[in-house]
Chain A
Amino acid sequence: MTAVTGADAHADMGSPTAESGRFLDILQQTITMTSRVLDHQEVMETVVRELPELLNTDACTIRLLDESTQSFVLAAAHGVSMEYLSRENIDTEQTMQMIQAGYPVHTGQADDDTLLPLHDAARHEGINSVLSLPILFQGQVIGVMRLLNKNAARTFTKEEISCSMALAMQVGIAIAHGRMFEKQQSQLKFLRELQAFSRLVNSSLNLDDTLGTMARRAVESLHVKGCTLRLLDPSTKHLYLAASHGLSQAYLHRGEVESERGIQLVLAGEPVSIYDASHDGRVDYAKQMQDEGIVSLLAVPLRVQGEIIGVMRVLSGTPRIFTDAEIRFASTLAEVGGTAIHNARNYQKISKLLIRIEGHEKFLATIIDSLQHQLLVFNQDRRVVLANKQYLKAMNRPEAEVIGLHYDELCREERFCPVNHVFAGQDMQTLARELHEGDDGKWLERSAAPIFGDDGSIEYVIEIIRDVTSERKLAAAEVEQARLSGIVEMAGTVAHEINSPLFAALGTAELLVEDEGATAMAEELQVVIRNLQRISELTKKMTSMTGFERKQYVGESTVLSLDDGAD
């Protein structure tokens, strides 16, 4: 193995001018080649395929540095077998360290040097020498490009090595650009997916629809087998399966998952990516996952304004390492979805509340319309905001005509309009007045009561209009009855008081007539007796009377008719 600067390499490429021209030509072709494609994988495939011919070598490989393991992973190869590529060690530790330090390394007699870890593979493949070139981008080693020679006579001049380094650097730039392009493409794709996802999950306020859409769209966006959405029950704080896509019922009902380490980590706010679900301590149902065909999974928290409301798990049927970008994308989906869930839940709550309010309103309206009295509600402008059926029926007007009318249009006599009195600051007012419709008198009672707002001012006034004609008539009849009873009692009392002296006078006169016999005095006494008997008949009528009738006397005076009133 030799770390080379080119000075110690054997020159067999012709004159320096001709060689420089050829290198420029190779460099130009390489730049042209790498500029044709944007996909960094395609760049690498093109380079390994075409560079050996340009540099007169037998094979080329490119390995990229995996930053997580600090190891070089095969990315593209041409001219060598899979068996060779699958060897355990790429090269000696020293060579790899030199490459990581940014130096090209030439390894000669790879097939003869038994101390080299790649000796057996190189011998088997017929590889004699290897030129390893670090792939640099902005001063950082991002990979290694190796040019392999089967011809022992093939050596590299200083110019060739410099040219190869320049080529490797160009490859590094192309790879980096490809990666950046891919990253941008990926970000653009994620943004588009996110936009579509957001539009879809926010297109409905139905919670079940939103959850179903989220699960389906997450599967489509992340190209996975299935997805589950588990939400924390707001009251019990336990997870429940809210939606899924692409998974069997047997898998979904495999058992309680809340205690799984993976789920617990997610509920603590940490995304969990599992490469091999069948052998991972963070998974409790490894066998069921295997049976379902799930290999890898990614779980992220569903959040609303920083609060975790559940877990979204996307499940891959193929081995998959979820990239940072994918994890971020899934987390963003979960946040967008969380907000959509929150909105749908709020909508659900509001809908239920509205249904309850509507129910109460309907109930209240039924009560108001069932009232036998007329009811009106006035706002601060004294305009009608509510009129019940009884009022509309009494007025024979449709509701639309009454709503908005000013109180002055409905109640014209100020002293009988209690709503105005209440708005003027008085307490509940009840006023009654007699109306005349045809020959019949009709009594209406208007009562008004205030409804106060939060600030203590009158917000509305309720007016109830009652037809109190029957009550009034009954009260008048009761008064008349009381007067009648008084008169009847008075008549009875007077008659009773008269009866005893009348009896004494009449009886005495009769005895006198008996004693006188047929004299002129007896005849005069008969006149007295006749008139006393007439009085006696009147007192009998008076004591037995239960009612009476008035009759006209003189002018406006009236007297009672005993003849008609006594039973």
Chain B
Amino acid sequence: MAEILTLDDVEDASILVGKILKKKGHTVYTFTDEDDAIAHVRKQPVDLAILDIKLKRMSGIEVLALMKEINPAMRAIMLTGYPTMETAREAMGLGADEYCVKPIDRAELEEKVEKVLALAKTDKVN
């Protein structure tokens, strides 16, 4: 099972993602504050970060860039409420592996998490 971090400025949304993924057996750390989430990544290894693009002070893309500096192997799924090609392309360019458009479909989320974690496993094997 994987160590997963979720970051969303809407606390309930962050908690819900955590609940869904915990049911799948993953260890999930939920955050609403950017600094707290980054500090966590600095403190312990995280396999996957699920980041909302729109946060309180920073953008999810900026947070992703900082986390990747700390842990380049970390995988990421971006959550966006505004599915424009520009934000998606930018996120993917900065190392995001997938993105989900809000409101998130639970099945889609579960599927994409499994897919990205599988990629992480492949990386470790290689």
Contact = CB atoms under 8 A, between A and B. Distances in A.
A506 interface: yes
Indicate the member of A495, A503, A505, A507 with the most B CB atoms within 10 Å: A503
Nearest to B12: A504
B102 A503 contact: yes
B45 interface: no
A500 B83 contact: no
Interface in A488-540: 492, 495-497, 499-508, 510-511, 536, 539-540
Nearest to A543: B82
Contact of B83 (A503, A507, A508, A543): A543
A429 B103 CA distance: 58
Interface residues of A, number: 21
B20 interface: yes
A508 B81 contact: no
Contact of B81 (A500, A504, A507, A511): A500
Indicate the member of B9, B19, B54, B103 with the most A CB atoms within 10 Å: B103
B89 interface: no
Interface string B89-126: 00000000000011110100000000000000000000
A165 B51 CA distance: 156
B19 A511 contact: yes
Interface in A236-266: none
A487 to B, nearest CB: 16
Interface string B7-40: 0111011011101100100000000000000000
Contact of B20 (A499, A500, A505, A507): A507
B102 A501 contact: no
Interface size class of B (residues with CB under 8 A): 20 to 34
Nearest to A537: B103
A508 B103 contact: no
B78 to A, nearest CB: 14
B12 A495 contact: no
B13 A503 contact: yes
Contacts of B81: 495-497, 499-500, 543
Indicate the member of B8, B15, B16, B106 with the most A CB atoms within 10 Å: B16
Nearest to A510: B106
A504 B16 contact: yes
Nearest to B100: A503
A544 interface: yes
Nearest to B11: A504
B30 to A, nearest CB: 11
A499 B103 contact: yes
Contacts of B54: 496
Interface of B: 8-10, 12-13, 15-17, 19-20, 23, 52, 54, 81-83, 101-104, 106
18 contacts: A495-B81, A497-B81, A499-B103, A500-B13, A500-B52, A501-B12, A501-B13, A502-B102, A503-B13, A503-B16, A503-B102, A503-B103, A503-B104, A507-B19, A507-B106, A536-B103, A539-B103, A544-B83
